[in-house]
Amino acid sequence: MKKILMHVCCAPCFVMIEEDIQKNGMNINGKREQVDLTAFWYNPNIHPQEENKLRLEAFKKLCGEDNIKSVIIDECEMKEFTNITQNEVGTNKRYKLRCEYCYYLRLEKTFEYAKENGYDIVSTSLTRSPYQNHELINKIAQILSKKYGVEYSYQDYRHTYFEGQQRARERGLYMQKYCGCIFSSVESLLQKKLSKYLKRMNIKPSTKVIQDIIEDYKKENNGTVNIEKIVNDYKEKSTNI
């Protein structure tokens, strides 16, 4: 039986994954296998400390109720995270995107722990979300897999996203309002403002519409995006109607 170390970004993303693995085994190279699963918590991107505490408690609750083995490395270094993001992310820098740094930070710690403690395979619950960059996650994971000599298994659970949200609510798990870091918290608030201006323009402000708008701006700006600028642009458009 293979030993699996799965990085868990949050309890709502993990709940459907772990229930499925416990019931049906894990899909490894196209075949379902029973595995020895350990959930790995390392998310120093979650800010502020109060938010980190809420998400970590939800993770502990889920693992305790479902008898899932877990490893917790609890770090919430907002100052270091924001400093690196501001200094090392951007065009012609170490990381092109903020999320690239965030993925690398969390996944490298997972692979490092897996290597040191004899795990066969690393995976992550990040790939359960349709809003995460699966291509970038997998690219980083493959690089780290070669670096640490531990296999990586991509688990695509995007089809369970909305069902998983409902499942998490039914089980009383804390439901976060933004991805994790302080930047995403600000962006979440700005997106609410964007929704207001879209309504003024008679555009239904669904999550998909907002995500499409953001993606269009990314394409126009070499992969970078300024949510505040988008909000201001739509504010001007809505007031000129």
Is 175 part of a structural domain of the chain?
Answer: no
Is 188 part of a structural domain of the chain?
Answer: yes
Is 177 part of a structural domain of the chain?
Answer: no
Q: Which two tokens stand for residue 227?
A: 């949510």
**Under 8 Å between Cβ of 190 and 56:** no
Is 216 part of a structural domain of the chain?
Answer: yes
User: How many helices, marked H, and strands, marked E, lie in the chain?
Assistant: 9, 7
One domain for residues 132 and 191: no
pLDDT in tens, 54-74: 999 999 999 999 999 999 999
DSSP character for 96?
S
One domain for residues 156 and 75: yes
One domain for residues 153 and 199: no
One domain for residues 96 and 212: no
In terms of Cβ atoms closer than 10 Å to its own Cβ (0-12, 13-18, 19+), residue 190 is middle
Bridge partners (DSSP) of residue 33 are: 26
Is 158 part of a structural domain of the chain?
Answer: yes
pLDDT in tens, 10-36: 999 999 999 999 999 999 988 999 999
Domain that holds residue 94: 3-170
One domain for residues 147 and 43: yes
One domain for residues 100 and 135: yes
pLDDT in tens, 95-132: 887 889 899 999 999 999 999 999 999 999 999 998 89
One domain for residues 161 and 201: no
One domain for residues 13 and 98: yes
One domain for residues 85 and 44: yes
Question: pTM for this one?
Answer: 0.80
Number of folded domains that form the chain: 2
